[in-house]
Chain A
Amino acid sequence: MAQGWRGKEAIEMATTTGVSKEEFKNAKLYKSVHGIDMEEFYTSGHRTCQGCESALVMRDFVKASGPRTVVTGATGCMYVANTSYMTTPWVVPWMHTQLGGGGASAVGMAAGLRALMRKGKIPDEKINVINFSGDLGGGDMGLGGISGALQTDYDMLIIIYDNESAANTDIQATNMTPWGAQTTFTPTGSKKRIMHDKWKKNVAPMLAIGHPNCKYVATACATFPPMDYMNKVKKALSIGGPTLIHTMDPCPKGWDYHPRYSGDLGQLAIKTGIFPLYEIIKGEVNYTYDARKTKRVPVREYLEKQGRFSHFIEDDFEFVQSRVDEMWNDWEIPGVAPIKGWLSVRR
């Protein structure tokens, strides 16, 4: 009964992944879950939902980056949940910025620190600058600012935490909401079953391809495979320059599932291949969990565990499966770049 779906496999995975490469020899990557730092810099007492994955994304990035970190957060549920009513669970300094202001605030913070260090007003040391924006704040509204930030030469990490909706204001659709999902903007009805008929925006490759000077772009899930996300944060911070991580955050509130299953849904999103896991290091794609190698799990197993897809009929499951198959089978770089998937030269 208490047997998690991960079971032994998770422990095995937890002790075998995270092998450090020569180029990340200074990143101090975690090699075992037992080696993870125990101290918290984002601690208990926050107003997040039960089972919130995004809270783990926050806790883990600051755990990986350590106490010499400053964080800026764009408006979103992870802002409101963590500084409302004059209390906070943050140990490290944190600053709120506007919904679309993630990129600009990180640039400003990094530039300010560099200037203060140059003038000798603060000691010259490595201080990690991290911005934390949601799928609406980062992937939609703040995209321009993030694009600008990725063209600078400041050291900073931008994390887009993607819970596939504007979850703070009670679940409105964003461009990162998956096809067919119910939100308050896109309820199902008797006349039209599928209100959200757009495919999810592919934001990480878009930013990687469009910003060739950005040395590190990755996708991640906070808890699966164990340590993978934290090591990606360490890699991003050690490689230098502006970097980006896009995380997949199951959201019990908006996806309408029992909070107990957040970890399972993150795992299923990766194993079904609906959310490909990779890192792009100086233009080279490295699959950190290749769903093809474990024989992709049918997407139905992922979709049917969420209330937001409870209106799906057989055709809908098949349609989503066909799009995911296409992504892995037909794209030039499977799961990442859809050049051959939909783009072609007119003859």
Chain B
Amino acid sequence: MSGSSRGTKSEAVSTAEMEKSVLRLEVNYRGIFQKSLAYRITNDLVYAAHSEGKTAFSNGRYSDDPQRNGVPCANFAFFSDALSEDDLEAVASASMDIDRANVVVVLDDTMVKGLEPWGHYGIRPINEKVIPGGTLLIVSRRKPEELIRHLEKKTFDYNIAILPGDQSFAGLWYYRDDATDVRTIAAVARVAPEIVGIHSVEEYVKKKYNDAAKVKSLQEAYDSVVVREVKQSEGIAWPHSKPKLPSWDSFDEGIVVKSVERGFTLGPRGQNRNPNFKRGTSKTQRPVIRFDTCIKCTLCWYDCPDECFDPTADGLYDVNYEYCTGCGRCAQVCPVDDCIVMVDDLNFEDNSSPWEMYKRDAEGYVKWLEEKKGKVRFMPSPVTGKGVRHTEIKAAVPFKQDGGN
């Protein structure tokens, strides 16, 4: 991304002094399916800022590539109304990651449960980089309170902004333009007019797309953003340990990586797994299982590419949600009607074993599960950019008393 002007505007100014005019923006997205979308957003913001005479550039997080489906990734954009491009790059870029951001954009609301990108150990909070008074801008259909209960408690006040909308899985080769790109840009202009004003955005979008519908959705998004302050008392104590990478002197001779120790027993968590990278934050939906209607065909376990199913002594298959990436293959292959169903991961609080819960109280488990599932089922079309089909079921499959035994 080229800046608006090269050369030096400011000479012999300290980094701390230059830092004052820098504004940072982070866009968190799901790898591959939201990649094109995230790049459109940061590109367009940079060009719109250029039209205001600002210096700006954007880049992707280096360690995210090669991207994998669902893995949380990030793009960054940097803005300044005082620095030259060279100075802005000197101050803001040339690092693998950023440590603070004025605006943190989240394109998929299930990321509030934590991030586990490629190049890190452990699960990080989504609001980790928000600065005091900064904004966490989330594309979501949920209320701010429903999302705040998953966020880490900060030591200062900041804002949460909701742009009403669905997770847009726009696709890779087939790109579906559902206006999430311009809507997000408008929302950024709303929560941080110091980055770019809505009029500049509007002019830019008019010129780039020449599409009245795009401009209309821009205005609609600008008006529909809900902003609310998050007090430092709000949020949760982060339940995961913060990532810690081994330093160069802690490596073994050569490049030796310790393998997973062999170990298997029947039952929940009976299989030894990679303790250092779990990957569960890749999911937007989780499979929920009706153990009472299960016919023990083994296909969910057989087809799971992440080895998340634990065979139990009674022939059922427990699922380890810490490692489940939510691909949906088990739900697709399950031959029993409504037995494995993919449900929004935000409906759930923890990753505890569903099989243990079922064993404690089978009927209670099924009742709880059906409440979480609701009546609407989601079926994505095979080509990702072509949307999701929603169907409503009339009634849940009744509880089967002696099932699963």
Contact = CB atoms under 8 A, between A and B. Distances in A.
Interface in B307-321: 307-308, 311, 320
A43 B383 contact: no
Interface string A249-281: 000111011111111110000000000000000
A261 B303 CA distance: 11
A44 B173 contact: no
Contacts of B246: 86
A170 B39 CA distance: 15
Contact of A49 (B69, B264, B332): B69
Given A40-B307, A252-B69, A47 B277 contact: yes
Interface stretch (B140-148, B202-210, B338-346): B338-346
Interface in B255-273: 257-262, 264, 266, 271-273
Max count, chain A CB within 10 A of own CB: residue among B302, B308, B379: B302
B384 A85 contact: no
A10 B326 CA distance: 22
8 contacts: A6-B333, A33-B302, A43-B273, A48-B68, A51-B327, A187-B173, A261-B382, A262-B329
Contact of A261 (B70, B258, B275, B332): B332
Given A44-B320, A45-B275, A170-B65, A55 B305 contact: yes
Nearest 7 pairs of A and B residues by beta carbon? A45-B274, A260-B328, A305-B382, A51-B327, A50-B327, A49-B69, A307-B174
Nearest to B256: A86
A259 B302 contact: no
B227 interface: no
Interface string A21-44: 000000000000110101111111
B306 A4 contact: no
A286 interface: no
Given A51-B329, A86-B251, A259 B339 contact: no
Contacts of B307: 40, 42-44, 59, 89
Interface of B: 32, 65-71, 118-121, 171-174, 245-246, 251, 257-262, 264, 266, 271-279, 282-283, 297-299, 302-303, 305-308, 311, 320, 323, 325-329, 331-342, 377, 379-385, 391, 393
Q: How large is the interface on A (under 10, 10 to 19, 20 to 34, 35 or more residues)?
A: 35 or more
Contacts, number: 239
Given A45-B277, A67-B262, A89-B260, 18 more contacts: A7-B335, A59-B307, A81-B68, A84-B118, A85-B119, A85-B120, A89-B307, A168-B66, A187-B173, A223-B302, A252-B327, A253-B69, A257-B384, A258-B380, A263-B329, A264-B382, A307-B171, A307-B384
- Interface of A, secondary structure class, is loop
A56 B303 contact: yes
A40 B259 contact: no
Contacts of B337: 1-3
B328 A51 contact: yes
Contacts of A253: 32, 67-69, 172
